[in-house]
Structure 1
Amino acid sequence: MEIRAGVELPARREEIELRTSDGLRLVGELALPAEREPVATLVTLHPLPTAGGFMDSHILRKAAARLPALADLAVLRFNTRGTASPRGTSEGAFGEGLAERADVAAAMAFVAERELPHPWLVGWSFGTELALKYGLDHGIDGAILLSPPLHRTSEGELARWRDAAPALVALIPEHDDYLKPAEAAERFAGLPRLRRIDVAGGRHLWVGESQTRRVLDEIVSVVNPAAAPLPTRWPAVDGGDAGESRVSDEASGS
């Protein structure tokens, strides 16, 4: 079976709740490999909720649907404060990227409590701002930035990453609406250790299966390179039959 937009591969999936230091309940989901322990953990941070971003934004949903099975990764998704999705609505109200500091901390506290290994922040658009602002407050292996707009991240916050131990990777779409490759090169010039990947033909929303596969391949090549490149069919040729996959009723955002 070809792996495409609505395919959800086998995993242990658990609806979870996060509790913030200011007393809010955030809704989310944890997806784990079906029969093995994860080798690393993706803590995903979704696009701008006031522009339709949420934990089911398509790249994050597809990461959770595919990567536990294909790359032995744990994938944590959650709605930041005031954000709604089919999973539910997180309490609170949008905090312009400031109050969300507590949301990131709640997610990382959950990772620590569950002893999930090698956490990486994967931010998309607005989520990259949260990763850059607050990622270094936590014991992460690194952060992967998808379409970073760099609207809310100050130069001082960027500078903290210059000599920081965690790795930093940025995927910059050629046709991004906010930060194209030439501009990204200038804005990130002070971070010589950053790995910048300019994606020819890419767009801010990474729409289409070819762009989805490119993004997920780049994530896996950083976090678990032994699993890259990802197979395009299930079961994988060398992986045997790990159980029946199912096709989600929701195939939006493909």
Structure 2
Amino acid sequence: MEIRAATVLPARREPIELHTADGLTLVGELALPESRPPVATLICLHPLPTHGGMMDSHVYKKAANRLPALADLAILRFNTRGTTSERGTSEGEFDKGEGERFDVAAALEYAEFHDLPNPWLLGWSFGTELALKWGHDPLVTGAILLSPPLHRAGDDDLDAWARFGRPLVALVPEFDDYLRPAEATERFARVPQAEVVGVDDAKHLWVGEPYVRIVLNEIVRRVNPAAYPLPTEVLGDS
């Protein structure tokens, strides 16, 4: 069976709630490999909620649909404060990336309490800024950034990540609306351990199955190299 945009592979999926230090309840979902323990965890930080970003933003939904089965990964997705998806609405209000520090901390606390291994932050657009600003936690293995705008997160945050020392990978579309590969290479040069990967022909929203596959492969290449490259077909009926 060919893996297509709508393919949902077997996994253990459960609704979860995160509880922030400032008293909010956030809604989310945890997807785990069906019959094996995960080898690593992706904590997904979604794009800007005021522009439609949420835990179901398509790359994250497809990661949850595929990567537990294909790469033995745990996928933790959640709505930041004030954000709505099919799963529901998280309490609170959008705070332009400031109060969301507590949301990031709550997701990491959940991962630690539930013994989820090797947590990587996976940020997309606005979510990359949350990772860079608030992801300096000893629990974090590294971060992968999709379409980083480097708008709310700036040079001071890059310098802080450089001191943090954890791996940092930025996937930058050739035709991004905010930051393109050449400029990204210059900006991320402040972080010695950073790797910038330019993706030809891609745009900020990674629309189209070929770009989703590139993103998921680049993620797996870092967090579970044994599962790279991902298959494009699985056993079963089409």
Q: When the two structures are superposed, what TM-score results if normalisation uses the length of structure 2? A: 0.98
The answer to whether the 8 A contact 2:29-2:77 is kept is yes
Provide the residue aligned with 1:155 in structure 2. 155
Taking the aligned partners of 1:3 and 1:232, their CA distance within structure 2 comes to 5
The answer to whether the 8 A contact 2:166-2:193 is kept is no
The answer to whether the 8 A contact 2:46-2:124 is kept is yes
Taking the aligned partners of 2:120 and 2:192, their CA distance within structure 1 comes to 20
Please show how residues 165-184 of structure 1 align to structure 2 within 5 Å.
165-184=165-184
> CA RMSD, aligned part only?
1.2
Displacement of 1:185: 1.6
The answer to whether the 8 A contact 2:20-2:103 is kept is yes
The answer to whether the 8 A contact 1:104-1:130 is kept is yes
Partner of 2:212, secondary structure, is helix
Please show how residues 57-206 of structure 1 align to structure 2 within 5 Å.
57-206=57-206
The answer to whether the 8 A contact 1:82-1:94 is kept is yes
Provide the residue aligned with 1:5 in structure 2. 5
Give the AA of the match of 1:134: W
The answer to whether the 8 A contact 1:108-1:138 is kept is no
Partner of 1:5, secondary structure, is coil
Taking the aligned partners of 1:182 and 1:47, their CA distance within structure 2 comes to 22
For each residue in 1:136-169, what CA deviation from the matched residue of structure 2 results, as whole angstroms up to 9, or x when unmatched?
1341110000000000013211101223231100
The answer to whether the 8 A contact 2:17-2:26 is kept is yes
Partner of 1:74, secondary structure, is strand
Taking the aligned partners of 2:81 and 2:190, their CA distance within structure 1 comes to 32
Q: Which has the higher contact order (CA 8 A, sep 6+)?
A: 1
Taking the aligned partners of 2:154 and 2:183, their CA distance within structure 1 comes to 15
Structure 1 runs of 4+ aligned residues shifted over 6 Å read none
Taking the aligned partners of 1:195 and 1:171, their CA distance within structure 2 comes to 9
For each residue in 1:37-84, what CA deviation from the matched residue of structure 2 results, as whole angstroms up to 9, or x when unmatched?
000000000000000000000000000000000000000000000000
Taking the aligned partners of 2:195 and 2:17, their CA distance within structure 1 comes to 33
State, as a whole percentage, how many aligned pairs show the same letter: 64
Taking the aligned partners of 2:39 and 2:173, their CA distance within structure 1 comes to 28
Taking the aligned partners of 1:185 and 1:226, their CA distance within structure 2 comes to 28
Give the AA of the match of 1:63: A
- Number of paired residues? 238
Partner of 2:133, secondary structure, is helix
